[in-house]
A = this chain, B = another copy of it.
Amino acid sequence: MEKVLVVGAGGVGAVAVTKMAMHPEIFKDITLASRTLSKCDAIASAVKTRTGVAIRTAQLDAMNVADTVALIRETGAELLVNLALPYQDLVLMDACLEAGIHYLDTANYEPENEAKFEYKWQWTYQERFKQAGLTAILGSGFDPGVTSIMATWVRKHKLTGIRLIDVLDCNGGDNGKAFATNFNPEINIREVTAPARHWENGAWIESPAMTQKHQFDFPEVGRKNMYLMYHEELESLSTHFPEIERARFWMTFGDAYINHVTVLQNVGMTGIDPVNHNGQDIIPLQFLKTLLPDPSDLGELTKGKTCIGDIITGPTPDGVEKTYYIYNICDHESCYAEVGSQAVAYTTGVPAMIGAALVMQGVWRDPGVWNTEQLDPDAFMEMLNSDGLPWQLVELDAHPDF
């Protein structure tokens, strides 16, 4: 395999194609497509300057399956890497099946007008991909993605199973803006305004959005408030590792961020139902996205580090219980210097490139639809270290009491 089609020209798409261009031995022919051709061309031009590699660009309405199939055939792509909006996962999977190529994404499908983050829609493609002899990799970003692969690696090399897992996502970066999300504000605000949910003793426990808060001292970042949230890897991890007693997801937010989201919620600006405004249907959250800074424009302004990883407790082969904290530290300014994007786009775009590389190389090529924790983690974990996201493993005395 030599040819890849990347769909989506946001910050993550820019990082992914830049890193692919740095591996010409794997990605010999790269096409970047999105609704807005000028965004693709701007990225292609930056990739050329940075790496010397010329990539192709194309205009594409990803919601149109026939157009996507035509573009796949025209480019000869053998893998489609979906870095577009999560609303587009299913139509892009349909296009891959029709054109007979492999598929990889970083975020699970959600319907546009309901805040539902569930794998059920994508998992129903399992048989079709299997019968077509095609591989679909779901959630090959950082979280989901690296955090699940880290869990699999700990489970393979250190423990015999996972009893407790807490995914901790800390962004200690500051972009200097009063309020600006570090990735697509529409997706970000949908996540944080949804009720929190975690897996415990075989059931989902729901609590109101942003009500469970703990302080944690993150390595190289320091003490931050983090909030219990629902995040999609909780569904796949608890499905694929049925021994898990409790799985939770936490994300850090500053007080100013929480205040802005609360006010915007109070006035109805985070709503995803259309509102009639002077005879036009406007979705408030989409209009808010229009007003907010484009996260891709914040790269240059963002300072500080991210620290994302898992705290995992489980039995060892010796029969005792151990707790490991496995994490990556990523520096916003170093990312910007390397690829022209800040760490939030970098930590998603690099794992997308790595997952794609493993599919291209045949390491991760098994017909069917797979979440990343179902695949062998070793090659992926090695590439994290060699390709910009080195990780640390430390043993803790016990699972933290939060």
Enumerate chain A interface residues (CB-CB to B < 8 A).
Answer: 178-179, 259-260, 263-264, 266-269, 271, 275-278, 280, 282, 284, 286-288, 290-292
Contacts and interface: CB of A to CB of B under 8 A. Distances in A.
Contacts of A282: 277, 280, 282, 287
Contact of A267 (B275, B276, B280, B288): B288
Contact of A291 (B260, B263, B275, B286): B275
A56 to B, nearest CB: 27
A280 B277 CA distance: 11
A275 B275 CA distance: 17
A267 B292 contact: yes
A291 B178 CA distance: 22
A275 B282 CA distance: 13
A130 to B, nearest CB: 39
Contact of A263 (B260, B268, B271, B278): B260
Contacts of A278: 286, 290
A290 B267 contact: no
Contacts of A266: 178-179, 260
Nearest to A280: B280
A284 B291 contact: yes
Contacts of A284: 287, 291
A296 B267 CA distance: 17
12 contacts: A178-B266, A179-B267, A259-B263, A260-B263, A263-B264, A271-B291, A275-B290, A276-B290, A278-B290, A280-B280, A282-B282, A282-B287
Contacts of A268: 291-292
Nearest to A265: B178
Contacts of A269: 267, 269, 288, 291
Contacts of A276: 290
Contacts of A287: 277, 282, 284, 287
B292 A277 contact: no
A292 to B, nearest CB: 6
A290 B283 CA distance: 12
A46 to B, nearest CB: 25
A119 to B, nearest CB: 29
A178 B265 CA distance: 10
Contacts of A267: 178-179, 260, 264, 269, 288, 291-292
